[in-house]
Amino acid sequence: MPWCTYLAFDIIGDLAFGAPFGMVERGRDECESILPGQPVTYVPGAETLNRRGEVSSTIGLLPAIRPYAKHLPDPFFSKGLQSVANLHGMAVAAVDKRLAAAEKGLTGDSQRHDILEMLCRAKDSDGRPMPRDELISEALTQLIAGSDTVSNTANRHPPLQAELDAAIPADAPTAEHQQVKNLPFLRRCIDEGMRLHSTSALGLPRIVTAPQGVTYGEHRFPPGTVLSVPSFTIHHDEEVWGADVEEFKPDRWLEATPRQRMGFNPFSYGPRACVGQNVALMELALIVGTAFHRYDFRVYQPRLRSHEGFSKKPVECWLGIRLRRRVGENV
């Protein structure tokens, strides 16, 4: 499982900051972090992100404890709050490194436009560039959204490999987005994987703003009420999905009902929905497409156990992996 996280971190590093974090190359969980008044240190990026998500979701559900959290004896809070600081430090390090490279003219390919470069070039209505603090805030958003929520699902269905074999050349080391972005069975597998293993463990809260409130069945919620329903609960509702709700069935999406399509919300809804959902879907198509084109997988556990913080993460995933073909060879 760590390698999936390393890959997600490196992808968002390359996309957002112009260079990967180097986790895949080094084979370990390590990122630069800069805390106020301290030299550059190295922190475990994935562990930092996980702990930050756990403590942030806990304090978010119990906001009254926020002023006292750092004084509580349970190390869950002290370690979690330190992870919040370390994660901010990771964003600071990424921004500082990129700004320093830009000043020295070392940004590399001038034709490449990553997210941080576009933010650096952005101007407000008065022609002023984005302040450094805002750049760091945006970088933090990219880190959280891009590296913490991309999941992978092992699929045992031969039709997926047949579809990928027809779309991707046998000698291609990796899939290209143009080759996989419109593959219907691949997309059904991805959607079914996100339904069964919802990325977000918590329902993102929404405030009832309608003056007349909201009525659902026998329940009425007045204005100002905070409502939250976890995606997992909706995605595993037998009344919505049927008796086979716990089965991985990609073809259920061929005849999905309007109620099912409305209930499928892996990225949430509305103006506060996941801003990176298109990037996530692109990553999933490329990663799953490349992996299942090159390898055969066998699952060695009947159910996937998970740990919940802000995100729902697998505890472990036992897989057998066998090379299907060597790059440059037809077999």
List the one residue out of 45, 41, 271 whose CA is nearest residue 146.
Answer: 45
Report the C-alpha gap between 94 and 31 in whole angstroms. 9
Looking at the DSSP bridge assignments, the partners of residue 41 are 33
1, 45, 117, 139 from 101: Cα distances, Å? 33, 22, 11, 16
**Three-state DSSP class for residue 152:** coil
How many other β-carbons are positioned within 10 Å of the β-carbon of residue 62? 10
Q: Length of the chain in residues, anyone?
A: 331
**Tokens 């403590």, located at residue:** 55
> 83 with 70: CB under 8 angstroms?
no
* Residue 274 is labelled as binding a ligand: yes
CA proximity to 153, closest of 191, 201, 200, 202? 191
Identify whether the C-beta of residue 304 lies closer than 8 Å to the C-beta of residue 314.
yes
* Buried b or exposed e, range 156-173, using 16+ CB within 10 angstroms: ebeebbebbeebbeeeee
Give the position of tokens 């997210």.
115
Over the Cα atoms of the chain, what is R_g?
22
Which residues does the annotation place in the binding site for heme? 274
Which residues does the annotation place in the binding site? 274
